[in-house]
Amino acid sequence: MTKPSTVVASVLERDLNLTIEKWTERVNKTKALTDVKLNHEERMGHLPRLLEDIVARLRLAKNTTPPNSSAARDHGTVRFKQCYTVSMLIEESRLLQISIFETLHRNQNSLDPEVVLLDVMTIADECDSQLGHTIDTFMEAKEKKKIHVAA
């Protein structure tokens, strides 16, 4: 079993608030996302948990099956209630990855270039996995609403 990465995880933990701030700045410049009027807490309330799941994934031993992100599932339900679309969920996730990678870039002098690429792959995989869970729950909520309205 390979030793899990901790340096990238520690950087993301340490810079959690700055990463969220950068994500928020990007979101606030994205008309498709700001068309849904939300306060700051409503817009970013899920991010700390999603980032914690990414950090936890980085700390897993390689070849360990990661758990599903309950934060991502909760996020899908909340975003459905807030009248988001699937394309908006995808855009949020894309902006999150950019913000995470920007955090790593700012801290590149403290990162081992030989392992950082593997960690970036893990981060991208976890973000995609979270997005999948978010969309699944979003679509489940949409289907429940259809059934309820039709009944």
pLDDT at 150 over 90: no
CA dist 66 → 22, 70, 88 (Å): 27, 12, 25
- Does the pLDDT at position 145 exceed 90? no
Compute the distance between CA of residue 55 and CA of residue 131 in angstroms, rounded to an integer: 16
19 membership: H or E segment, kind and range: helix 16-28
Mean pLDDT, range 110-137, rounded to an integer: 94
CA distances from 148 to 2, 75, 76, 128 (A): 49, 21, 18, 30
Q: Residue 58 and residue 78: Cα distance in Å, rounded? A: 26
- Domains for the chain: give ranges and CATH numbers: 7-150 (1.10.490.10)
135-146 as b/e: b if 16+ CB within 10 A: bebbeebeeeee
Mean pLDDT of the chain: 91
| Residues 68-100 pLDDT 10s | 899 999 999 999 999 999 999 999 999 999 999
Report pTM: 0.90
Quickly state the pLDDT bin for 66 (edges 50, 70, 90).
confident
